[in-house]
Each structure stands twice: as structure tokens, then as C-alpha cells.
Amino acid sequence: MEKLHHLITQSVRRSGVEPSVEAAKIVGEATTTLASLFGADLASHMKPLYIKNRTLTVSCTSSTVAQELKLRETEILDKLNLKLAGRLVDRIRYFS
């Protein structure tokens, strides 16, 4: 199984899609992190969209939800970067 993982990793690097794959991992992990911090109900009103220049963009269904996100931004970033094993996200941009 390790050989398959190695082959896939090499193929992703050679094809040039590694940044896109990494971005998708970050967005997926952000979704999981928001659900663990806010609970499934409130997190369902937040949708991580993409990462660009180490900034995670999140769509919120209301300004109240965006405010909750802003209040806990440091906590979210700390937990997310811990799970990603590196400082891959520096800030969160949100809109409602």
C-alpha cells in the first residue's frame, strides 16, 4: 500500500497539480475544524471556499455567523495549522 501512495504522490508532483491538491486538503481540514469548534449546526452556516496567499476565504450565511468566526479566528487558525502540521494559513477572510 505504501508503494501506491508513493506512486500517487510522485504523479501529483509531476503533473503540476500539487498546489491544487494541497489547497483542497486545507479547505477540507478547515471544514472539519469549524465543525469541531462550532458544532455541526453553526458550522453548516460557514463554508470554506478556497485558500490563496495563505488566506482562507469562508462564506457565511449571515453577519452574525461572520462575527462568530472573527471572534475565534486565532483559535481556528491555531487548531487548523496544528492539524496541517505547519503554518499554512495566516488569516481568515470571511463574507456574508
Could you list the mean pLDDT of each consecutive 10-residue stretch along the chain, which spans 96 residues? 72 72 91 96 96 96 95 96 90 93
Query: Distance (Å, rounded) from C-alpha 52 to C-alpha 71?
Result: 22
The DSSP output letter for 24 is H
- Report the CATH superfamily, name and number, of domain 18-95: DnaA, N-terminal domain (3.30.300.180)
What is the pLDDT, as a whole number, of residue 17?
A: 67
What is the pTM (predicted TM-score) of this model?
A: 0.82
What is the predicted pLDDT for the residue at 21? Answer: 76
CA atoms within 13 A on the CB side of 26: 27
Cell of 66: 461572520
Residue of 66, 89, 68 lying closest to 79 (CA atoms): 89
